[in-house]
């Protein structure tokens, strides 16, 4: 059998912010409906219902001295250390995010220069052929960066690509919106390298969709729900029920398409790394995926970090992968030769999935 080029993950890293924010930290908030009316329930009741639906008990926020490019750099440095490669040999650095650098004392998105260029500078990489760019693709951005890296590697245009997901959602969430309790900060990174192999290994296949039209604005930027809010900031707003219902149909179909491209039966999948949106939605997506094959989802196939890390957008999947791959999530491990699936859904509505075989 002739050798072919495959993309394999040779290093991963993460940065988990140090500020631990529990649900009790929201007890003194004032929450409003979309129509500007104050919620007619106690905060204890609001938080209890929120916990039941999302599974979130706490989340992490960055300290005031950090922005997204800072924590992206810290995750990137961790990935370089774990891979043992020289950063000067990277062909691309891709940083997935959606809001740029948002400072604690000036909450405006800063995109210039690209966060990827800022990360390269912090890493002190001098090689001008290490090309850097950013990728806004909703919460599915990190995985889309991995897909792009695979195209670069399999086309022969690159041998080593770093893909980072970094976000500080705490800086763009409305303190008067109960959905603000979903959002968190964090960063994760992987390094993909080219490997020649006679048997399929690494990234086997992927599939992506953009479900725009009626779903284009299920996530968008709007003013605070509090009509008396002092400030002109725009905050991330979500039509949660609409997104939930669409994700239940669309995400399993995208994952199934990826598995079919790879010619991998669902029974061969050992782990599913899905964007940590909320527990109820992720569990329902997994259930629907296996039901599409007439099966029940096996216990322990889907590691989850949302209960203690919240939803950090593009950072959830790479952070989760790093935790499991380094043995830092009890009850979960990755074994050589196993097939895993990555999947994500986010603003746009963008959905993607990738099938990956862990190399020997």
Confidence check: pLDDT of 273 > 80: yes
Beta bridge partner(s), residue 205: 355
If asked whether residues 317 and 217 sit together in one domain, one would say yes
CATH number for 231: 3.40.47.10
* Domain end residue (candidates: 197, 216, 242): 197
Give the pLDDT of residue 2. Answer: 83
Cα angle for residues 194, 324, 274 (degrees, 5° grid): 80
Q: By percentage, how much of the chain surpasses pLDDT 90?
A: 93
Q: Predicted confidence band at 259 (pLDDT cuts at 50, 70, 90)?
A: very high
Distance CA 226, CA 38 (A): 8
Q: Report the pLDDT value the prediction gives residue 164, as an integer from 0 to 100.
A: 98
Is the separation of the CB atoms in 162 and 79 below 8 Å?
yes
146-157 mean pLDDT: 97
Measure the CA–CA gap between 66 and 52, rounded to whole angstroms. Answer: 31
Cα→Cα distances 280→140, 186, 244, 270, Å: 18, 21, 9, 21
pLDDT score at 243: 92
Residues 6+ apart with CB under 8 A from 28: 43
Q: What mean pLDDT do residues 183-202 have?
A: 96
Look up the domain containing 229 and give its range: 202-357
User: Which of residues 150, 175, 197 is at a domain's end?
Assistant: 197
Q: Which residues, including other chains, have CB under 8 Å from residue 40's CB and lie 6 or more apart?
A: none
Number of structural domains (the chain) is 2
Q: Quick one: residue 358, left, alpha or beta (phi over 0 = left, psi -120 to 50 = alpha)?
A: beta
Same domain assignment for residues 151 and 232: no
- Say if residue 246 is in the same domain as residue 153: no
132 pLDDT above the threshold of 70: yes
Picking from 275, 177, 309, 178, the residue whose alpha carbon sits closest to that of residue 235 is 177
Which of 139, 174, 193 lies closest to 319, judged by CA?
Answer: 139
Query: What are the percentages of helix, strand and coil residues in the chain, rounded to 5?
Result: 35, 30, 35
Q: Which among 258, 7, 9, 23 is positioned nearest to 152, based on CA atoms?
A: 7
- Band of pLDDT at residue 175, cut at 50, 70 and 90: very high
CA distance 187 to 82: 15
Distance between CA 177 and CA 29 in Å, rounded?
A: 9
Regarding whether 185 and 40 lie in a shared domain, the answer is yes
How far is CA 291 from each of CA 128, 242, 323, 356, rounded to the nearest angstrom? 49, 22, 28, 22
Tokens found for residue 242: 């609409």
Tens digits of residue pLDDT in 46-85: 999 999 999 999 999 999 999 999 999 999 999 999 999 9
Shared-domain flag, residues 271 and 180? no
Mean pLDDT of the region 1-17: 94
Tokens of 256: 């199934």
Based on the fold, state whether residues 178 and 149 are members of the same structural domain: yes
pLDDT of residue 231: 86
- Among 197, 226, 247, the domain boundary falls at 197
- DSSP assignment of 127-151 equals -TTSEEEEE-BTBTHHHHHHHHHHH
Q: How far is CA 321 from CA 14, 57, 172, 328, 350, in A?
A: 9, 21, 25, 10, 20
| Cα 274 from Cα 282, distance rounded (Å) | 7
First to last CA, the chain: 18
128, two tokens: 């001008």
Question: Are 145 and 235 members of one domain?
Answer: no
Same domain flag for 130 and 172 = yes
Where residue 1 falls among pLDDT bands split at 50, 70, 90? Answer: low
What CA–CA distance (Å, rounded) separates 298 from 286? 10
Tell me, yes or no, whether 187 and 218 share the same domain. no
Say if residue 109 is in the same domain as residue 258.
no
Residues 129 and 229 in one domain: no
If asked whether residues 16 and 135 sit together in one domain, one would say yes
250 neighbors 215 (Cβ within 8 angstroms): no
- Two structure tokens written together for 304: 């989850």
In the chain, DSSP finds a helix count (H) and a strand count (E) of 8, 15
Q: What is the DSSP letter of 245?
A: H
């Amino acid at each position: 059998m002739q050798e072919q080029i495959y993309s394999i993950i040779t290093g991963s890293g993460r940065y988990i912010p140090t500020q631990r924010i529990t649900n009790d930290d929201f007890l003194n908030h004032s929450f409003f409906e979309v129509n500007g009316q104050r919620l007619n329930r106690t905060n204890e009741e609001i938080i209890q219902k929120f916990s039941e639906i999302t599974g979130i008990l706490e989340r992490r926020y960055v300290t005031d001295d950090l922005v997204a490019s800072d924590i992206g750099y810290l995750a990137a440095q961790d990935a370089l250390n774990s891979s043992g490669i020289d950063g000067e040999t990277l062909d691309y650095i891709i940083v997935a995010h959606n809001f740029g650098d948002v400072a604690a004392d000036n909450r405006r998105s800063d995109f210039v220069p690209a966060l990827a260029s800022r990360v390269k500078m912090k890493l002190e990489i001098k090689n001008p052929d290490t090309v850097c760019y950013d990728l806004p693709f909703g919460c599915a951005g990190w995985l889309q960066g991995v897909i792009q890296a695979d195209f670069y590697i399999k086309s022969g245009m690159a041998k080593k690509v770093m893909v980072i997901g970094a976000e500080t959602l705490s800086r763009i969430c409305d303190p008067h919106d109960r959905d603000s309790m979903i959002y968190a900060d964090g960063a994760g990174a992987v390094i993909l390298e080219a490997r020649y192999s006679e048997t399929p290994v690494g990234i086997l296949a992927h599939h992506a969709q953009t479900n725009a039209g009626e779903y284009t604005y299920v996530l968008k930027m709007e003013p605070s729900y509090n009509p008396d809010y002092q400030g002109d900031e725009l905050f991330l707003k979500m039509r949660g029920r609409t997104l939930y219902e669409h994700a239940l149909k669309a995400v399993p179909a995208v994952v199934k398409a990826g598995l079919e491209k790879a010619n991998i039966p669902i029974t061969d999948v050992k782990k599913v790394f899905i964007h940590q949106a909320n527990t109820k939605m992720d569990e329902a997506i997994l259930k629907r995926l296996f039901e599409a094959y007439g099966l029940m989802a096996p216990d322990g196939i889907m590691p989850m970090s949302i209960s203690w890390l919240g939803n950090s957008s593009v950072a959830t999947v790479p952070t989760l992968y790093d935790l499991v791959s380094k043995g830092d999530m009890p009850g979960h491990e990755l074994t050589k030769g196993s097939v895993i699936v990555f999947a994500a859904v986010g603003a746009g509505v963008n959905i993607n999935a990738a099938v990956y075989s862990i190399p020997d």
